[in-house]
Structure formats: C-alpha cells, structure tokens
Amino acid sequence: MILWFTIVTVVVAAVGGVLCVVLGLAGRRPSDLSVGALALLELLLIAQVVVGIVAPLTGNPPSGSLLEFWVYLVSAVLLPPAGAIWALLERSRWSTVVMGVAALAVAVMVWRMHVIWTVQQA
Amino acid sequence: MSTAAQPRRMTGIGRVLVIVYAVLALGATGRSLVQIVERFSHAPLAFTLSAVSALVYILATLALIFSASRAWYRIAWVAISFELIGVLAIGTLSLVRPDLFPEPTVWSFYGIGYVFVPLALPFLGLWWLVAHRPATVPGGEAAPATP
C-alpha cells in the first residue's frame, strides 16, 4: 500500500464518518453532502483495490498475510454502499448516523490493512 | 405519521444498531475466516470461538432486521442473549486462562480489540428488543425520532 494514499483514505473516512454522525445527531436527513462523502470514500476504496493488485507487481509486496489484507479490503469496499442502501431505505436522521458508522468502520479497517501490509510480525 | 396497524419495521435508531451489528458480523467473520484458513491448529479453541461469535453476530443482525416477525424476534432474543453470555464468559476466561487464547477472539478481554463495543452491544440489543416487541400491543407504534 502507499502510505500517503492510505492516510488520505483514512482521513476521508474518519472526517466523513464524524461529519455524518454529527449531521445525523443534529437531525439532518441524508443529503448530497453526507451521501457524497460516502461516494468519495467508495471511490478511494476502489482505487485501493487497484493499488492492492498493482503494488506487489511493482516491488511493494505486503509483509503480512495477503488473505487477511484482502478480507479487510473486500469488507471495506462493501461497507459504504451497504450502509448507504440500508440508510436510504428509510430517510431519517438515523440514516445519516448509519452512514457515519459505516464510514468510521472503514477508517479503522483501512488503517488495519496498512498495518497488515507494512508491519506485520511473524 | 404511519398507521399503527402497520407491522413494526426496523426503524429509527434501531437501524443504527443493525449497522453496528453488521459491521461486527463482517469483522468477526473476516477475522475467523483468516484464522481458520491460515492457522487453525495454532489455537483451535480460540478460533472455533471466533467462528461461533461470527455466526452469532450474523444471526443477530438478520434477526434484528426481521424482528417485526415474531419468530425472528425470538431468534433475536436467543442470539443476543448468547452473545451477552459469550462476551462475559470468554472475556472472563481470557483473563483467567490466557493460555487458552494465544490469539485474540472478538470476545477476548470483553472485546478490548473492538473498543469494548462487543460488551456494550448485547445490552443495547436487549434493550431494543424489550422496547420494541412485535405487534402484540396494537397501537404501540415506534416512537418518532427523539427531539
């Protein structure tokens, strides 16, 4: 993985997540802003999939378990759309919180992926 | 807004509960899949428990989604009670007999690896179930979002 790109993804996920949770608790329904944050995050995650495929071929192999890395990545890619669908089936303030929770979970997962890639012991 | 005769759907803050359960189900499933595929013999008990906890989270997620139906509501009670017992028992066991858990499970040390969300979640789940019985009481539509 590429460190700066990981950081960008984690920051977008964390900021987007906190934003959605705050907007939701403030009573906002899903808007272009909150859904857009999730869409942007999904775009970055798809780019991470490309990075995950290409990086080992260009002399940037994972140091940890490749299987574990991909399990996390596939889960992370599925979360924003799943969260958005689940949220938009019922547009209430809690829908926005739901999207925030999904984004925050992605933030943790992407960071964990980077740890698996770079500093896995044994 | 909605008519009281409608069957109770998963609504409002309950949807947040479901997404948290879904995230834990995903995390626990992924973790136990990796553990069992890569090194099951290393810690068979811990990894079996990981798989069990993953199944419980999947079941609890589905049961909460469909908890308007009485059957699923009952399944939700069973799954979440099992989850509560699991996190308390495994959490305690991992403190008392750490040798049984050379590698962490979702429930080790009461879910410390998941910032204790696994410890809080069953209480929230049971609270939600108590507060949202399936349509036994007519007219008891879920309260609108709190102000």
Which of A77-81, A108-112, B83-87, B102-106 is least confident?
Answer: B102-106
Report whether pLDDT(B147) > 70. no
Report whether pLDDT(B3) > 80. no
Interface of A with B (CB under 8 A): 27, 65, 67-68, 71-72, 75, 78-79, 82-83, 86-87, 90, 92-95, 97-98, 101-102, 105, 109
What is the 8-class DSSP label of residue B100?
G
pLDDT, tens digit, for every residue of A31-67? 999 999 999 999 999 999 999 999 989 888 888 888 9
Helix spans in A1-122 (H) = 3-25, 32-54, 66-88, 93-118
Indicate the pLDDT class of residue B100, thresholds 50, 70 and 90.
confident
pTM of the predicted model, to two decimals? Answer: 0.86
Q: Give how far B133 is from chain A: nearest CA, Å.
A: 20
Helix spans in B66-116 (H) = 70-96
Complex prediction ipTM: 0.88
- The whole-angstrom separation of Cα B132 and Cα B128 is 6
Indicate the pLDDT class of residue B24, thresholds 50, 70 and 90.
very high
